[in-house]
A and B are shown apart, each in its own frame.
Chain A
Amino acid sequence: MKRAIMSELPIVRTLVPSIAGVGLFIFVVLTAVRASNGDSDMSAAGAFAISAMSPIMAMTSLAGLDNQNGWERYRATLPISRKDIVSARYLCITIFSVIMACAAVLLSIVAIPILNSVGIPSTGETVFETAIASAISMLFSLMAVFLVLPLFFRFEHMKAQRLSVGLYALYMCLIMVTLNSFNPISNQLMSIAGTNPDSAVLGCLCGAVALATVILGVVSCAISTKVYRARDL
């Protein structure tokens, strides 16, 4: 397992500058848009966005690199078991997402005095609220990744990408049809957080979402291992 992670890390490292660059761009744009609208928590929105996009960008980028030049086939000939390859991928996406979420929260906190100094008043969320909201954004995004990751281990990249978009669309349609809301889970969570904005409730909320993410991750990883072992490369 350690060997698989060590082998995956150089590729993950190459993703950091490009994903961080895109994240920074989105952060600046979102902050500017919210500042022009007169919102006071402008920098927090950028942090949520970066936290939410990082897992999906990491997953698609890594899957794309697997597909490049036949690396996936070559990697399967290395003395690393397919189970370790799959586990390392899940772990690397999770670690990368956590690091990006932490960086996003840090950026959001650093941005507040900078914005104030250039004459844009920003009260911002408290550090704890920003951190919790970013963590929940990241966890939801990770759940979405875990939902489709077995497709990337079962099929080649392009097909998996098509199927995953289809799966997301199906998921959204089902939710809308059954619950009559576009995103009822987060709406429900936001209403809980809004009516009980103390740190204990937010912490519990985050813990519950993290637990759900871990369970989904474990199940997804088991499915991915099974399908990847059976796959011809």
Chain B
Amino acid sequence: MQNLLELKSISRRVSDRFSLRGVTLAVEPGQIVGFVGANGAGKTTTIRATLGLIKLDAGEVHLFGQRCGTDAPDESQRHLRSRIGLVLDTCPFPSTLKVGQIEALVGPAYPTWDRETFAGFINRFGLDPKTKVKDLSRGMGMKLQLACALSHNAKLLVLDEATAGLDPMAREELLDELLAFVADGQRSVLLSSHITSDLDRAADRVICIDNGSIVFDLPREDITDRAGIAHCTQAQAAELMACVEGTRAARHAYSVDVLVPNHREVLEAFPEIPCDRATIDDYLRFMLKGALK
């Protein structure tokens, strides 16, 4: 099946200290793809490149199988963008407008805008049409954006740090919406976040970026079900790392934690070494900070 989004080796120099370097990723239909990384790692810049907000030095962006970018014809860009829904970390609408006026602002841009769907979401999310945008809480602002993103029959949802600053209930609600969105297997979500617990529950794949380059791109099960953290002595760690490929170590005063790609295999081969399952947080920490040897 055709990928909804494909970035092929995109590069862009942003400043003297930061560049996107050959970022390649794909979002398949029916997937929620978690896009993780530290602050300033390049998540938002990658999303800006995806949405054609910045020019690229190299590489290609393909949306729904068609090449897209700032140099693409206006009509083609319009058509592709009408199939994308966007949710940002802060509510982007002018603060003096009321919730009820946002439809008049965003709706006319989309040929497939559905007024009833929007009204349904506003009602379901408990948003008061008379409330001004500046008076919305962070969670309500996110819900308003989500209502806009889901009211024009989008095929791809892009969320840039949308869960940041939300309370656990609001995050839970958002994740439920995302799971329902991809349930038909035709639509996808690219969820950029540094809150990895959200991805533990919802993501099908996890892509990590650091310093403008992709560090790993794995199915979520490979991290949360297969990978593990072995708690070793110095000697055990040395032996384990010599035997198992793809390990990373975090050294402490009297012990060494070793990230292993398959915790069951390690438990079988080294029954004396306690080995727990890894979380996405653990995996991220080891991959970004852990030592290879």
Contacts and interface: CB of A to CB of B under 8 A. Distances in A.
Given A68-B94, A69-B92, A71-B92, A78 B53 contact: no
Nearest to B83: A79
A69 B78 contact: no
A69 B91 contact: yes
Contact of A78 (B96, B97, B106): B106
A118 to B, nearest CB: 36
26 contacts: A3-B109, A7-B109, A10-B97, A10-B104, A11-B94, A14-B94, A68-B94, A69-B91, A69-B92, A69-B133, A70-B90, A71-B94, A73-B92, A74-B86, A74-B88, A74-B93, A77-B53, A77-B86, A78-B81, A79-B81, A79-B110, A80-B78, A84-B74, A230-B55, A232-B48, A233-B53
Contacts of B81: 77-79
B238 interface: no
Interface in A36-84: 65, 68-71, 73-74, 76-81, 83-84
B108 interface: yes
A79 B70 CA distance: 13
Given A71-B93, A79-B80, 18 more contacts: A2-B108, A3-B109, A4-B109, A6-B104, A7-B105, A7-B108, A73-B48, A73-B92, A74-B86, A77-B53, A77-B81, A79-B77, A79-B78, A80-B109, A81-B74, A81-B77, A83-B74, A232-B48
B79 interface: yes
B39 interface: no
Given A7-B106, A81-B77, A233 B92 contact: no
Contacts of A9: 104
Given A11-B105, A77-B84, A80-B109, A68 B95 contact: yes
B101 to A, nearest CB: 5
Contacts of A79: 77-82, 109-111
Interface of B: 48, 51, 53-55, 70, 74, 77-82, 84, 86, 88, 90-97, 101, 104-106, 108-111, 133
A78 B91 contact: no
Contact of B48 (A68, A84, A233): A233
A229 interface: yes
Contacts of B82: 79
Contacts, number: 82
Nearest to B14: A232
Interface of A: 2-4, 6-7, 9-11, 14, 65, 68-71, 73-74, 76-81, 83-84, 229-230, 232-233
Nearest 6 CB-CB pairings of A with B: A6-B108, A74-B92, A81-B74, A79-B82, A78-B109, A79-B81
Given A73-B53, A77-B51, A14 B88 contact: no
Contacts of A73: 48, 53, 92
A233 B74 contact: no
Given A232-B54, A233-B48, A69 B90 contact: yes
A14 to B, nearest CB: 5
Contacts of A80: 78, 109
A68 B96 CA distance: 10
Contacts of B80: 79
A74 B106 CA distance: 10
A176 to B, nearest CB: 39
Contacts of A14: 94, 96-97, 101
Contacts of B97: 10-11, 14
Nearest to A73: B53
A129 to B, nearest CB: 37
Contacts of B95: 68-69
Nearest to A65: B94
Contacts of B101: 10, 14
Nearest to A84: B74
B285 to A, nearest CB: 30
Contacts of B96: 14, 65
Contacts of A74: 86, 88, 92-93
A49 B94 CA distance: 28
A70 B106 contact: no
Contacts of B55: 230, 232
Contacts of A68: 94-95
B254 to A, nearest CB: 48
Given A68-B95, A77-B51, A79-B81, A3 B105 contact: no
Contacts of A70: 88, 90, 92
